[in-house]
């Protein structure tokens, strides 16, 4: 059995992270992970930068996957959750609804996963910041 962390941000590209990208390989080795996915907010790591990091990870026995985390919003700008995207070879920065995002990712042969579907909105109100029950539609 392999163990991967599929939702990793770095301080370089995501303001919510305290992990320097230079440290992620050591941390993955220490945690006995087989691999991890970089899923920065609103962007995919540039290919050349990612390839250098992937090679360093591979030398330590860690598989590194280039992904991204995209925030979907409805037509009124309300959150429909954040989604991890893999297999799309460009940054998906343009705002889309959740259903549009799913369609685009699937059309390009990618995989989409709700990042944290039942995460409450800031302040703990009943409205979900995550996708909530949209993951079933």
Q: Residue 126: its pLDDT value, please?
A: 54
Q: Residue 123: its pLDDT value, please?
A: 61
pLDDT in tens, 15-29: 777 787 789 999 999
pTM of the complete model:
0.86
pLDDT in tens, 28-65: 999 999 999 999 999 999 999 999 999 999 999 999 99
pLDDT band at 81 (very low <50, low <70, confident <90, very high): confident
Domains of the chain: 4-136 (3.20.20.140)
DSSP secondary structure, 70-133, as one string: EEEE-TTS-EEEEEEEES--S---S---HHHHHHHHHHTT-EEEESSTTPBPTT--SSBSS-GG
């Amino acid at each position: 059995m392999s163990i991967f962390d599929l939702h990793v941000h770095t301080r370089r590209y995501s303001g919510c992270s305290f992990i320097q990208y230079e440290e992620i390989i050591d941390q993955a080795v220490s945690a006995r992970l087989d691999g991890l996915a970089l899923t920065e907010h609103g962007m995919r790591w540039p290919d050349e930068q990612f390839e250098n990091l992937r090679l360093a990870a591979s030398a330590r026995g860690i598989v590194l996957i280039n992904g991204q985390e995209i925030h979907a919003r409805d037509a009124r700008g309300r959150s429909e959750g954040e989604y991890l995207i893999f297999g799309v070879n460009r940054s998906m920065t343009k705002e889309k609804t959740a259903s549009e995002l799913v369609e685009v990712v699937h059309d390009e042969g990618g995989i989409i996963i709700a990042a944290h579907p039942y995460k409450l909105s800031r302040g703990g109100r009943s409205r979900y910041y995550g996708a909530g029950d949209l993951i079933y539609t």
